[in-house]
Structure 1
């Protein structure tokens, strides 16, 4: 049975690559329509256009998967924020300077960012069974290896998403309490989903992509979509149900005490913001024993900018 996504049509046992056109905005897309019936799975990358490990992973997977090794349909975006990818502007779509991951569920009459979110919500999610969103530290952020599963939605959707998360090689799985974002929006609309974090600082490396690909193949295998690949449940993955997201209330110079992935005790200084003369303006103290999930790695910090996220362990 053929699969249609806007202007793109892929027949059974075929693979096509082209651009999904959303009101003039083009998203590089590969669709693999397998030889047998099965689930329809989306692998999305580059919603944040400078998170390169996920983008490179999506590109490689789009080349390696073929109808012969797929049951159902796999759709790959590489990347969603295609115009921003070449502008090298972190987080936002340059046409309207908006963060796509904050635009869901979107607006058909809004700016291009909101229209993309609307088309995901109304055109894409209604046709799929699982949504995988590849992220990582942005241009000046570092992230440890972890996966978000949605915390808001029908219980069966949340539970199934978490179950799938446990086949990933990531060190942590984090329960999200957010309602925004492509994957959270998908879950609220009844589609199990995950957001995977890995890498950052405007670079990608071969080991990171290999780990990412293994995780994607494990998910596809668990869902019955990938033939001849065996997944293994990660029995040592740590579940995090409480996380702190710290934003700066002032402009200054950021001095973190830990790196992403490092563990610390309660009542420990996590970092400081100083002025240009070295005077300490703000100090951030841990509320509990935890792990740095991600943090800003640049020296410069803007007022209102999120600088650090840590989870309780």
Structure 2
């Protein structure tokens, strides 16, 4: 029997319902395959307006059955469930916190911290692999890429990167962060990844198809499902990335698009005031590629502007 809080699922069963954490409901599907295999979790909706990743998780939860998987597959459909319906970008409305920034959590904290604690205490210890699916937010554009952990035991990091390299996305970023659901899992000894694909508050069919293909490649490599992908991509690794945040409230004018290559000294964007006066100009510190950026005219103080990475030669 698989057990996660109030949820139980036996061999050969498929369960869909809500994982209750301190009166907070997270929609989940558990598929317990008839054949033995690894225990894997696909986690969607930590950022509740990243719609392509959420829909990909829902579609796969409906597609898979105990007859066509090995092991146990846990799919969390929309973790920030209350934020999803309020259409409040990034934060959990009950405590106004970014859930992905409070891991490993606090049993006695706010609801975001309690959710993160439940992951760390009750979910991760049961897993063989954790994959967190994301994409550009309402006001973000993202090039398709994978984050893999850079902090933790070498064996865990190496295996995470091995799995990532078998997913047909062109860029893999070695993370230096210790926060976030997948980084926290890796530090706790669970191989983990994060996929970024989609964005702008819409679900383009080609992005949804690509997302599901990537997740099937991931599950196939771990022998959860049988799936043959003919696409082979030479994946490049980024070992140095720069994340720019806004020093003030202002009007943001990016100069490039996600996926564009940049040269050292290129102007990445400008912040102006409401009268059109230039306040800040941001230049690239090295040659690289734009991973993601805010595309809304409005930019609040301390919000992300643009992230770019240096390709490993």
User: Normalised by the size of structure 1, how large is the TM-score?
Assistant: 0.98
Quote how far apart the aligned CAs of 1:199 are.
Answer: 1.1
Rounded Cα–Cα distance in structure 2 between residues aligned with 1:223 and 1:73 = 12
Quote how far apart the aligned CAs of 1:248 are.
Answer: 1.1
Match of 2:234 in 1: 236
Match of 1:278 in 2: 276
Match of 1:290 in 2: 288
Match of 1:11 in 2: 10
Match of 2:22 in 1: 23
Alignment of 1:36-185 (within 5 A): 36-185=35-184
Rounded Cα–Cα distance in structure 2 between residues aligned with 1:236 and 1:105 = 34
Quote how far apart the aligned CAs of 1:166 are.
Answer: 0.9
Match of 2:209 in 1: 210
Q: Secondary structure at the match of 1:277?
A: coil
Quote how far apart the aligned CAs of 1:230 are.
Answer: 2.4
Q: Per-residue displacement from partner, 1:201-227 (whole Å, max 9, x unpaired)? A: 11111111111111111111111111x
Quote how far apart the aligned CAs of 1:233 are.
Answer: 7.8
Rounded Cα–Cα distance in structure 1 between residues aligned with 2:227 and 2:135 = 25
Aligned residues: 311
Match of 1:306 in 2: 304
8 Å Cα contact 1:53/1:198 also seen in 2 = yes
The answer to which of 268-277 and 179-188 deviates more is 268-277
Quote how far apart the aligned CAs of 1:264 are.
Answer: 1.2
8 Å Cα contact 1:222/1:231 also seen in 2 = no
Quote how far apart the aligned CAs of 1:288 are.
Answer: 1.0
8 Å Cα contact 2:169/2:233 also seen in 1 = no
Rounded Cα–Cα distance in structure 1 between residues aligned with 2:147 and 2:108 = 30
Runs of 4+ displaced beyond 6 Å: none
Unaligned runs of 5+ in 1: none
Q: Secondary structure at the match of 1:215?
A: helix
User: Normalised by the size of structure 2, how large is the TM-score?
Assistant: 0.98
The answer to which of 93-102 and 228-237 deviates more is 228-237
Quote how far apart the aligned CAs of 1:11 are.
Answer: 0.8
8 Å Cα contact 2:168/2:233 also seen in 1 = no
8 Å Cα contact 1:5/1:124 also seen in 2 = yes
Quote how far apart the aligned CAs of 1:234 are.
Answer: 4.1
Match of 1:220 in 2: 219
8 Å Cα contact 2:12/2:67 also seen in 1 = yes
Rounded Cα–Cα distance in structure 2 between residues aligned with 1:187 and 1:232 = 30
8 Å Cα contact 1:221/1:231 also seen in 2 = no
Say what the alpha-carbon RMSD is for the aligned residues: 1.0
Match of 1:262 in 2: 260
Rounded Cα–Cα distance in structure 2 between residues aligned with 1:232 and 1:11 = 34
Quote how far apart the aligned CAs of 1:235 are.
Answer: 4.1
Rounded Cα–Cα distance in structure 2 between residues aligned with 1:177 and 1:230 = 32
Match of 2:249 in 1: 251
8 Å Cα contact 1:48/1:91 also seen in 2 = yes
Q: Per-residue displacement from partner, 1:155-194 (whole Å, max 9, x unpaired)? A: 0100000010111121200000000000000000000000
Q: Secondary structure at the match of 1:179?
A: coil
Rounded Cα–Cα distance in structure 2 between residues aligned with 1:88 and 1:182 = 21
Q: Secondary structure at the match of 2:56?
A: helix
Q: Secondary structure at the match of 1:12?
A: coil
